[in-house]
Copies of this chain bind each other. A is one copy, B any other.
Amino acid sequence: MSTILISEVGPRDGLQSIDPVMPLAAKCAWIDALVDAGIREIEVGSFVPAKLLPQLADTAQVVAHARTHPGLIVAVLVPNARGAENALAAGAHKLTLPLSASETHSLKNLRRTHAQVLEDAAAIAAMCRAAPYKVHFEGSVSTAFGCTLEGIVTEAKVVELAEKLMAAGADEVGLSDTTGYANPAQVRSVVRAVHAAIGAEHLTGLHLHNTRGLGLANVIAGLDVGITTFDASLGGLGGCPFAPGASGNIVTEDLVFMLEAMGHDTGIDLDKLLKVRDILAAALPSEPLYGFTPDAGLPLGFRQAA
């Protein structure tokens, strides 16, 4: 049994998928409570133009607040070099650049070809190396398990893009099941192929969705092939089973329950984590919160290792 890092992405992936704009004070209270429950990495926002995602317009201020927590890895999404510039100015510890394996998706969402995104990756890697503090730069292959526009995404394409991201200077590659298309056999196969190409130490994290209910099954597959970091969203914020295009992140509470029940060490206090939902429910009263474990409660006799 091993130590597993849960990267909470609700403040970025959750909030960008819903209409209400959460006030800065609520975001900070949410982050504080997550840290108090033992969360060690949070993707706190995205450096995109405010007119595109007003929900995340205060990301620089959120980064500044999150940085006051010693030891917390403050992660952000950056869509391009300008976003990375702003992220570094704000002091983010980790920058993630998404590169969609489906070029159709890349063109439609970012209006950029693979070659253009990879140019950005090289520029961002150089900026990170030149930064006055230590920065971690992840290239994230999105739609890595299938695309709602292109359908099947080949393993060869994912491997090729992972290699190119590393060649561009990324510290690490992540794989993202943006569309909720992945299945456990595919997760094992694609991760093994990427590990063989770039080294297992350069692919340690998966971003999985629960769109078809397979999120935690895919986590088990990831664990089997050595993955040690999983993204998740408290209450599955931003997901909606009736809108397949929506986020549908795996629910942090269910993920932590599963891992802790299996004997893995997440460093997270489940009782405290379950209470963080109250902050979310109060700040976003119109948003449904998901999760089976919060509804069912912890099993009788369940004890977390100290």
The 0/1 profile, CB within 8 Å of B marked 1, for residues 17-36 of chain A is 00000000000000000000
A262 within 8 Å of B (CB atoms): yes
A301 cross-chain contacts in B, Cβ below 8 A: 146, 150-152
The 0/1 profile, CB within 8 Å of B marked 1, for residues 181-219 of chain A is 101111000000000000000000000001111101101
| A250: nearest chain-B partner, CB-CB | B213
Determine whether the beta carbon of A212 is less than 8 Å from that of B242.
no
A180 within 8 Å of B (CB atoms): yes
Docked complex: A132-189 residues within 8 A CB-CB of B: 146-152, 179-181, 183-186
Q: What's the nearest-Cβ distance from chain B to residue A191, in Å?
A: 15
Determine whether the beta carbon of B254 is less than 8 Å from that of A213.
yes
Among the 9-residue stretches A3-11, A113-121, A289-297, the one with 4 or more Cβ atoms under 8 Å from chain B is A289-297
Q: What's the nearest-Cβ distance from chain B to residue A152, in Å?
A: 4
**Number of copies of this protein chain within its complex:** 2
A152 cross-chain contacts in B, Cβ below 8 A: 301
A47 within 8 Å of B (CB atoms): no
Q: What's the nearest-Cβ distance from chain B to residue A147, in Å?
A: 7
Determine whether the beta carbon of B181 is less than 8 Å from that of A299.
yes
| A149: nearest chain-B partner, CB-CB | B300
Determine whether the beta carbon of B213 is less than 8 Å from that of A146.
no
A288 within 8 Å of B (CB atoms): no
User: How far is it, in angstroms, between the C-alpha of A219 and the C-alpha of B220 when the chains are bound?
Assistant: 10
**A296 touching B183 in the complex, CB below 8 Å, given contacts A216-B216, A258-B217:** no
A242 cross-chain contacts in B, Cβ below 8 A: 295
* A residues whose Cβ falls under 8 Å from a Cβ of B: 1, 146-152, 179-181, 183-186, 210-214, 216-217, 219-221, 241-242, 244, 251, 254, 257-258, 261-263, 291-293, 295-297, 299-301
Q: What would be 30 A-B contacts, judged by CB atoms less than 8 Å apart?
A: A1-B185, A146-B301, A147-B300, A148-B300, A150-B300, A151-B299, A151-B301, A180-B296, A183-B261, A183-B262, A184-B258, A185-B262, A186-B261, A186-B262, A212-B254, A212-B257, A212-B258, A212-B292, A212-B296, A213-B216, A213-B251, A213-B258, A213-B293, A214-B258, A214-B292, A220-B221, A241-B292, A241-B295, A242-B295, A244-B297
